[in-house]
A and B are shown apart, each in its own frame.
Chain A
Amino acid sequence: MNTPIADTTPITGGAPLEHRSPRAPLPAARRQGQLAAAARRYAIVVLCLCIAALLLSPLALLALDARWSEIQHVLLRSRSALLLRHTVLLTLLVAVLAASLGVACAWCTERTRLPARRLWTVLLVLPVAIPDDVVGYAWHSAFPSMSGLAAATLVMTLGTYPLVYLPVAAALRRADPAMQDTAHSLGAGHLKTFYRVSLPLIRTAIVGGCVLVALTTISEYGTFEIVRYQTFTTEIFTEFQLNGRAAAALSMPLVCLALLVLAVDGIVPSRAATRTAPTRKPTRAQLGWIAVPLLAGLVAILTLAIGFPVGTVVYWMAQSQHTTLPAAATLGQASWNSLIYSLLGASAAVVLALPVALIAFRRSTSLRLNLQRSTYIPLALPGVVVALSLVYFATHYAFGLYQTSALVIVAYAIMHFPLALVCIRASVAQAPARLADVGQSLGRGPASVFLRVTLPLLAPGLLAGFCLVFLFAVTELTATLLLAPIGVQTLATQFWAYQSEVAYGAAAPYALAIIALAAVPAAVLALWFGRDQGPQPQLAPL
């Protein structure tokens, strides 16, 4: 059917027609309409500003707490130089070793035809489910001579390498094999291809993992106390029991150090690939006899990281008299407390992270992006610092909150917020605004579209974020020790209390319970990171 042109409105770009709609609203109504539209548009920004304020409040409280004279006093001691050297040296060592171990393991599971590959991808992640202080306790109780830098490095490397392994394996799985093929076709050999193409492709993932490893090491307390290696965090803890002000002052350089580490991630450029999804799966190397030493290596890693600590814990339990073991009721109560705190903390972190992850859903202005970036800063706030600032807040402004469980949950939510955000942000890419638009044009309201389209697509990311926060919360010791109400024991604090008294047998069941609680979310995470499709999660934020 041909429409005669005469029927249509003349189509010239000439003078604009002064058109007045019959339904043109009055100016007042118009202003109201615009106000409502602006309110809708900026509601999420305001909400996220509040969340960011909550997340950054520990920094402000710390600045209030620490007096300049006190900072000068504690920092100009010669001991501070020693602590700084210890902390930096250990952090560097652990970061490098964990990165090497993580990349090597990722290469084995993603680029070779390893027997039982799927199983390895889960097993290699499980060491994160074992608290570092439990590993330290296992080594130290088996070999009391093990202490100092070497022991600290060993324990932290074994406990943190999965933080590199997870993102690197995901990056390797999604790296476009065409790039390596192209490098080969341009005459580059295997080694040159690895250094000039493959490694740069996974660099963002490696750096992100390393940053997380370094921050974990900086804020670790229990392990270093056990293997008797002094860092800033252990010193802050000791000072806190003597002089609260000095602890706050000591936290300053610790936070600066951690912020510096976090900034490393922002400096390393990450360029997006022009093609995001590889069309072909990467080829896996056929392993001949090499499989034997590779498998032996992986078995050795898992033996050291999982087998040895779990074995030691079981050994101490078997050795103990029936009377030295805790009553089932005590153990049950501590498990319940740990479970509830971690569940609530993880839920709070996920609920807070959801609007921040969605802030750039439709509009990505620099205001919105910078606001989102600022919420990664808690990653650089060690647990002891967050706990100290909350203690300061409660004792000065809200005494009713002091020594309540609410404070523990708030601390968990603040400390682990960035981990939840990382996972949810990765899944926002799976639920683009286009899909929500289509849902609306099909006659559904925004709320219905959010529930039926956006939320189901975000669900895997929400679950992963929840698991990650739960995992970190259930193994958390430092903040829990400082904040848990008097008389309330969690698995981590009860384990810590018994092992401090060298009651290895009594501590063992608590360690085992933590591992059991943490293993489930760790396995879920391994499966989420191990998917072939979907967004590539970056543990690193900026």
Chain B
Amino acid sequence: MSEIDLKALAKRFGDTPVLADIDLSVPTGSITAVLGASGSGKTTLLRLIAGFERLDRGTISIGGTVMDDGQRSVRPQHRGVGYVPQDGALFPHLTVSGNIGFGLARRERSSVSELLDLVGLSGLEHRYPHQLSGGQQQRVALARALAIQPSVVLLDEPFSSLDASLRAELGRDVAHILAASATTTVLVTHDQDEALALSDQVAVLCEGRVLASSDPRSLYRDPPDLDAARSIGEANVLAAVIHNQVATCALGTVALRLNGRARADGPAQLLLRPEQIALHPQPNGTAVQANVVELRYHGHEAIAQLRLDHSAHETVLVRVPGELVLAPGQEVWVAASGPAHAWRSP
């Protein structure tokens, strides 16, 4: 068992609090993505788990063993944590096999070729890091971390310096390798798509606090609050009134996702993802009239920003097929399709 448990974790650098009251647990064998903007404390969190920094308060335990409780700390070399830093950080003076075998005793070095097979780099044993492409360097860094058969692997923005197509491919490969070895993994990233696509659990980190953490689907559908909703994907948040388990907002009445709990009547905030709003070129049933403000074209799809007719300032984002052409100012009709998530108004 190698679950990671972070409890009430806090860290300051001088007078600057970097992490405050972090509670997070990563189940054995799963991948948890920590999603956050730069400066949110993601890397510090990883460095604490790896043991490069000491905690101020709280506890970090791995597989039930306390690694750091703010007073005593297990040294990084005794934690069995594989760490893959942002740019790979390969040792420039060692070959690929020297890098991968770094943490192995001499008699264990035979496993280097298996690891090279695993990351798909057979035949490159004798290359030096500067002779490898960015993606290859990341694969070597992963193989090096896996060589010591760690119970936990930490990935610090491992794909951020790669171009988009390579990033997706390498991401999938790495996820498969880690899943196959049943390694508990923490992946730090600022890329929402990467976090949603690769992980079993997403934790949203903002200014040193965990805003939300759950599996990607629930986090996208039922975020615990407004900030968490906005940190993953596009979000339309509309003022609404709940009456008899149905919300009424600027787009008419929308069914609520109840998850087995009844909602009290009263004012609320309603979350509608762009794909939960349908756009019609012609008047259609209860659809509400709106004006096109702009269209952001993404190829296979497009996001239309619309101004709802009866409110001069409120705009909503709607996902539409890429081939649909809309001119700014054009009149369209929109309807919401539930069930939607709602919070009580503060």
Contacts and interface: CB of A to CB of B under 8 A. Distances in A.
Interface string A12-28: 11101101011111000
Nearest to A433: B52
A312 to B, nearest CB: 45
A443 B23 contact: no
B215 A2 contact: yes
A441 B313 CA distance: 53
Contact of B214 (A5, A441, A443): A5
A456 B93 contact: yes
B343 interface: no
A8 B66 contact: no
A361 to B, nearest CB: 13
B125 interface: no
A119 interface: no
A441 B82 contact: yes
B267 interface: no
Given A2-B200, A9-B24, A444 B102 contact: yes
B160 interface: no
A268 interface: no
Interface in B175-233: 179, 200-201, 203, 209-218
B238 interface: no
A3 B213 CA distance: 11
A457 B93 CA distance: 7
B89 A457 contact: no
B2 interface: no
A443 to B, nearest CB: 5
Given A10-B23, A441-B51, A24 B71 contact: yes
A457 B72 contact: no
Contacts of A452: 102
Interface in B72-106: 72, 75-83, 85, 89, 91-93, 102-103
Interface in B238-281: none
B212 A13 contact: no
A13 B21 contact: yes
A8 B71 contact: no
Contacts of B78: 443
A16 B85 CA distance: 30
B89 A13 contact: no
B25 to A, nearest CB: 5
Contacts of A7: 27
Given A1-B179, A3-B215, 5 more contacts: A3-B30, A437-B85, A438-B85, A442-B77, A442-B103
B77 A5 contact: no
Contact of A1 (B10, B102, B200, B209): B200
Contact of B72 (A9, A14, A23, A444): A23
Interface residues of A, number: 43
A183 interface: no
A444 B77 contact: yes
A488 interface: no
B25 A9 contact: yes
A434 interface: yes
A437 B50 contact: yes
B148 interface: yes
Interface in B118-156: 130, 144-145, 147-148
A367 to B, nearest CB: 13
A17 B21 CA distance: 8
Contacts of B30: 1, 3
A442 B215 CA distance: 30
Contacts of B287: none
A11 B213 contact: yes
Interface string A451-469: 0110011000000000000
A358 B172 CA distance: 40
B12 interface: no
A233 B212 CA distance: 72
A33 B201 contact: no
A383 to B, nearest CB: 37
A4 B215 contact: yes
A435 B86 CA distance: 12
B344 interface: no
Contact of B23 (A3, A11, A37, A445): A11
B141 to A, nearest CB: 8
